[in-house]
Every structure is written in structure tokens, then in C-alpha cells.
A and B are shown apart, each in its own frame.
Chain A
């Protein structure tokens, strides 16, 4: 580098180097820090809700007044792992045109409820919750709210429902 006598450094150079320390440090931190922070925070600004319309069957395959349970495999992406979960819904129609679809999990603690044909109600075996078939209203037992109705649509004679899970054991119907 420089040759010359051992004279104290000039102040201009020192001011420059002082600023260089601050600016250099700031930019280094920014360059590495911004991608890191963005990546770390990425789950918070990612859209998590995806529409999932499930094909339940043709309109005329469901008998009026008899609820039908439909099991399906829900292929989900758990980050880098593809998962398959067995889900179920109950579908009910009074007139063969308008359909009501319930999430197959009891709103109490998530057990799979079943049809009690004798009393014509849904009965959950875990803690003996009872639900009305037509509206899903709680008839007895611990469930905090009615059965969770799912959005339904009929297109070209095919019934679809949008599967959703809701938080269990609370009176409000909120998405998980």
C-alpha cells in the first residue's frame, strides 16, 4: 500500500472509512438478512385457503329422505410431504333437487357419527350426541353446535361439496 512517513491519517479518509463501516455493515446485513427474513416469514403471507370441490355423485343416485355417507381420499400437501387422509361427508336430500352436505365429523370432538335408523337421527358413538338429519341441529348430548354444513353446488347433474374442517368443541363455526 502507501509508502511514506508515519504521519497520522488524514481526517477526510477517516470520515470516509467511518461511513464505509456503517454503510458496508448495513448493506451486508440487508443482502443476507432480507431473503432470510422473507423465507422465515413466508408462511404468514402465503394463501392457505384452497378451494377443494369434491365430486359426491350424480343427482339421481341419492334417495330422498335417506342420508348417505360418502368417504373420499383427501390428497393434501403437508409442505413437502404428500398426505392422503380418509374423509367423510353425509349427504341428504328431501326432494332430490336440493342437497345438504354435512362434514362427517361430530362438532363435539371430531368422532365420526353414524345414522341411527331406528330413531332417524345422527348419533355420535363417542359421547352420545344426537343431531337432526334434516337441519343438523343438536337434539341431545354434549355437541356445542349443529353439524357443519358444507357449501354445495350441482353442475350438469353432478353434486359437489367443498370440503372444509371447522374448529371442534366450540359454539362458533370457524375454519381451522
Chain B
């Protein structure tokens, strides 16, 4: 061991590398909040390990994607756990990177001299969102399909270039095989490459500039503006002073990083073990009743679109995120005050509270929204044909389904729990035989064929809400016709 180290050291000068990297002095009294960046990085590594392994069993084709996910979940040793870790790890990464950005924002660490690293960090944030957006199409289940359909449609509302943008994202005008292939290529080839390079730059800049000191050590006696010609010299001295505590990167910083990172990984694995990783029914492009809901971190935009009139939609859907990104990118350049503590920066404090409060409010509101079809059963082809009839015959004009539709007739959300297919078929043919005062039109021939009535009845029978309880039929048939 010792001789091997000596052999390597003679060639690579490991001692110096250790001195420069591990033994370097860092500012005193750094908080636990400083571990968020390394925790994000750790989760990225976990995503790489789990993702590359999942890729060995995944097929990026609409014919097989869903089946390959099933295969991973049921046939591959630890496959279900692996997919769980990757799924929940993705959410954890978004949480951590946002928390890390808030920490950097709160201690003014995007200010001189760290503007470049802030920009790189914004790039990392957008790349992580790109991972999320491309990643959740891959299972090719209902949520994947419909959320991506909506997501790409939002891009399509962009003025001027909307149509081209949709075609670019989807690899064609429709969402399909080409979309899945390019999302997979981006998710597993381009984005990891981009993220790795930008993370490397982020870390190189970090090592060159040193870890950000706490705000109050860089505020006493500082010029009011960071673009004051005297500021660089002030900063150099003030920052050097913070390092006099004799704190070293290892173990003083790295030890805390390791504790937090291990805790985060443990939590992700525990969630993956305890919470079922969602997988809905296979993607069904003919299912027009499905209500798509995006992942939670895209919910603010999702909810925002419900609150604005249609004419404003493109402005909001594309405009709000674009403005937010521009604000993030411009932040270190228009905020030149040398005060770093968030509590002494009223505008920044209000701005942060507004964005977080707004996002939180929208996520909360979206959480109360309809989600009826989320746990919907897998429909047979007959039932799907029936669903198409339900739409074309405008049954929803009089009947409620999952909180939507007219109120003339009974709510059909759970009609499958109350009546059998046979009863529904007879009723549809001639409702007045059952209730003489029924205002529902008779759908017996020639309105619909017997085949169509059966399809409709089968579809209605599949409507059972979200209850696990077995159906209890209250079927009473009228006395037979007297000719």
C-alpha cells in the first residue's frame, strides 16, 4: 500500500494535490446549509449509477418501453428498488438544487466575485429540469404521454417559433416513437454530458475562489457597491481574514458534506422502499378523458394556466418561466449592493418570498384540483369505443363525470358500482321503460346500434371512481314488454 502510494506520488505529485484540494483553508464558521451543493452532487451520482443500470434493461420504443419498465420492476433483481431510487432521487435533486440556490441567494454568494458560478449554477438548474422533463416520458404510461403532450403543446404557444419548437421537441408533428427516442437520447446522452461538464466548471471555479464566507464577515466596512473600484481589494482582505480560523476543507467541510449526503441517500432509499413508485396504465393516445398532471415541480405553471384567460396563455406559459430565468441570469449584474445578509436586503427578501409563496400557493391549489382519471382502470378496446361514444353523443351535457359535465341527469362517476352491464344496456335502449318520467332520450336503434349500446354500457360499467370496494348492483328491471 505505502509503496504503491509512493510510486503514484512520484509520478502524480499526490501530496501536492492533497495539500491544494483537501488541506486548503476555508472560511471559519460555515453552516450546515453549505452542504446542500454537495448533497445535490451526491444525488446526481446516485442518479448516474441507477440510471445507467436501468438503461441496460430499457427499450426506448413505444411498443416496448412500458413492457421493459414492467420487466425491470418484476424480473430484474432489485429492479423495482432501483427504479424507485431513480424516481424519488429525481425529485430529491430538484428539491436540493432549489434549496442550494436559495441558500446562495440568501447569503448573497452570487455577488462579487462569484457571478460566473451563479450563472453556471443557473445552467445546472435548467439542465436538471431538462432531465426531469425528458425523464418522465420514458415509462410511456398515461402520465408520461399526456404530461409530455401538454408540455410540448405549451412550447407550441411560443410566438413566432411555436410550431417549429414543437416539431423540434417531438421529432415530428405528433408525439410518438421519434419523441421517445430523442427524449431518451437527451436524457441519457446529451444532458449527462452537459451536466458533467458544467458541474466540473462549477467546482473548478469554486476551488479557485474558495467557499463563500458567511455574510457578516464580508460586510463590515465594505464599500456600498460591489462595482466600487475599492471593493475587490476590500473583498480580498476580508475574505482572507475569514480563513484565519484554521479550518480546512478536509475534514471540517467534507465531513459534514458526507454526513448530510449519506442522510439524503438513506432517505431516498427509504422512500423508494416504502412508497410505491408510480406507474400508471400504458400510454393510450385515444384516451381523451385523461387529466394529465405534471410532476410536482412543474405544478406552479400547470396551475397558473388554469387561472389565466386563454388569450393570455402563451404569454403566461412561456413568458413567466422565461422572465424568471432572465431574472436569475441577470441577478448578479443588477444587484450591486454589497450587503449580503438576506435580512438586510428588503427587495431581495420580498422577491424571494413572493416567488416561493407563489409557487407554494400554486402547488397547493393544484393539489386540490381534479385528479379523477389518475387511478383510472385500464380500458378494453370495447370500453374505449364506448368512451368515444360517450363523447360524441355528448352524454357529458347532462351527466357529471368526475366533477365535470351537466347536472340534468345523475352523476355517472361511480355508475359501474351501482349497475351491471346488462342493466345499463337495457336502460340505454329505452330509459322510459325504467322510469316513466325519465327525460333521457332512448338510444336504441336507430339512434345507436346494439353493438354501440353494448360498447357504451361496457364503458359505463368501468366507471367505478377510485374505490376498491366491489360493486353492489341495484338493478331492477321493468316488467317485460307486452306486444
Q: Chain A interface (Cβ within 8 Å of chain B)?
A: 1-3, 6-9, 14, 16-25, 27-28, 31-36, 38-42, 45-46, 79-81
Contacts and interface: CB of A to CB of B under 8 A. Distances in A.
Nearest to A15: B251
Contacts of A3: 29
Given A17-B252, A28-B262, A35 B246 contact: no
A11 to B, nearest CB: 11
A40 B53 contact: yes
A28 B259 CA distance: 10
Nearest to A36: B53
Q: Is the interface of A mostly helix, strand, loop or mixed?
A: helix
A32 B78 contact: no
B252 A9 contact: yes
B181 interface: no
B50 A20 contact: no
Contact of A17 (B31, B64, B256): B256
B40 interface: no
Of the four ranges (under 10, 10 to 19, 20 to 34, 35 or more), the interface on chain B belongs to 35 or more
Q: Is the interface of B mostly helix, strand, loop or mixed?
A: helix
A16 B258 CA distance: 12
Nearest to A79: B71
B77 A14 contact: no
A39 B251 contact: no
A39 B49 CA distance: 11
Contacts, number: 121
B261 interface: yes
B255 A17 contact: yes
B244 A42 contact: no
B266 A6 contact: no
Given A6-B244, A40-B53, A18 B79 contact: no
24 contacts: A1-B31, A6-B244, A9-B247, A14-B251, A14-B252, A17-B252, A21-B258, A23-B262, A27-B262, A28-B265, A31-B262, A31-B266, A31-B269, A32-B50, A35-B78, A35-B81, A36-B53, A39-B76, A39-B82, A42-B75, A42-B78, A45-B77, A80-B71, A81-B64
B246 A38 contact: no
Contact of B67 (A31, A45, A81): A81
A38 B261 CA distance: 22
A32 B256 contact: no
A62 B454 CA distance: 48
A22 B259 CA distance: 10
A141 B76 CA distance: 45
Contacts of A9: 245-247, 252
